[in-house]
Structures are given as structure tokens and as C-alpha cells.
Amino acid sequence: MRWQTNGELNQGDLIELVCHLRNVECDQHSDELSRLGQSHTEDNQTGKIPQKQAA
């Protein structure tokens, strides 16, 4: 895996990691990983910075 200068994973490595995790997680977790991976990709393409959600 390669980290970018902004501290985030390289886009290709992030996609590969999410795909691998989807294959080993249960369906509920797999669906959430897909959603998170998709929203991260969309945010990077639009230039949005994701907001942290309150716990």
C-alpha cells in the first residue's frame, strides 16, 4: 500500500483493500464497506472533504 502526501491511501490501494475486505466480511459489513468506499471515491472526484460523524 502506498500513502499519499496528504496522508490518505493511494486510490487504487484503497479500492483493492475495500474489495478484499468485502470478500471476507459478512454481508452486512460488506454492504457498509461498499457504501463507504463508494462515498470516498465520489468525494475525491468532486473535491469534497468527508465530515466526521458524531459517535
Tally Cβ neighbours within 10 Å of residue 18.
19
Could you tell me the mean pLDDT of each successive run of 10 residues in the chain, 55 residues long?
84 83 76 73 55 44
3-state secondary structure of 18: helix
pTM of the shown model: 0.46
Q: Cell match 460488506: residue?
A: 30
- Residue 9: beta bridge partners? 3
3-state secondary structure of 55: coil
What are 44's three cell numbers?
475525491
Domain spans in the chain, listed from the N-terminal domain onward: 11-46
Q: Are 16 and 22 in contact (CB under 8 A)?
A: no
